[in-house]
Amino acid sequence: MTYCLGVLLPAGLVLASDSRTNAGIDHIATVRKLALFENPGKAVITVLSAGNLATTQAVVTIIKQNLNTADVGRDLFTMGSMFEVAQTVGTVLREVLARDGDAVRPFGDPGASFLVGGQILGEPPRLFQIYTAGNFVEAAARNPFLQIGETKYGKPILDRAVRDELSLTAVAKLALLSFDATIRSNLSVGPPIDMLCYETDSFSIGNLSKYTEDDPYLAELRSTYGAGLLDVVRRLPEPPLANRDGPMRD
């Protein structure tokens, strides 16, 4: 299992993934699940992947091999919109599953899903979630974040706190807390956490970070958030317990 997150804001994009992969309880490894494609001054495209590792690696490798080939419909750098990029990733995914799916199914699920985010010159940043079928949905103001993989543990804090007016750094903190909650609750998700904070119209991947298990900032974030959460709980009004007004009756 894995956890990948993308958040779309007027200020830009926050995209993050964990690095744990496993093929059973005795085979755990780390694999980078965030792929970056940069065409300086023209495009920054990020592909985050979850699901069958052989499938996701095949899709990303095919995409890389088609870069700078001028092959229209295959080379991401020839495309005029992120919508076209999402279509292409979905098409490559279908091709890989058509080729390998039947051979893999007796041994496990060959399926995969992707988050595709970035910006191409001439349009604002955009974010898409691509399903195993190769179809996709796009993030918008009413649903500004998308998740794939082990999503349920990290979702509540995002539902409560993500807002359009937040800065990239504020959302980056929320993203890391979302990952921390997931890592605490599910052993199949683990660091390092790769995270790109992409600023609108920058066409730069300079704000790319990796957070390891013993990263001092991540440790400080965890401890400060935990202490703050306990302080908030202490200051919340007491619940109206039944014994305040006598025993509860039907």
**pTM value?**
0.90
Of 249 and 198, the one with more pLDDT: 198
Strand partners, 206: none
* pLDDT tens per residue across span 110-127: 999 999 999 999 999 999
pLDDT computed for residue 227 by the predictor:
95
pLDDT computed for residue 65 by the predictor:
96
pLDDT computed for residue 242 by the predictor:
65
Cβ atoms within 10 A of the Cβ of 56, count? 25
pLDDT computed for residue 23 by the predictor:
44
What value does the mean pLDDT take over residues 153-173?
95
* pLDDT tens per residue across span 200-232: 999 999 999 999 989 999 999 999 999 999 999
Task: Determine the Cα–Cα distance for residues 248 and 250; give it in Å rounded to an integer.
Answer: 7
The answer for residues whose C-beta is within 8 angstroms of residue 74's C-beta and 6 or more apart is: 66, 88
Contact 154, 181 (CB under 8 A): yes
Task: Determine the Cα–Cα distance for residues 63 and 75; give it in Å rounded to an integer.
Answer: 7
Q: What percent of the chain has pLDDT over 90?
A: 83
Contact 101, 92 (CB under 8 A): no
* pLDDT tens per residue across span 18-41: 987 764 555 555 678 999 999 999
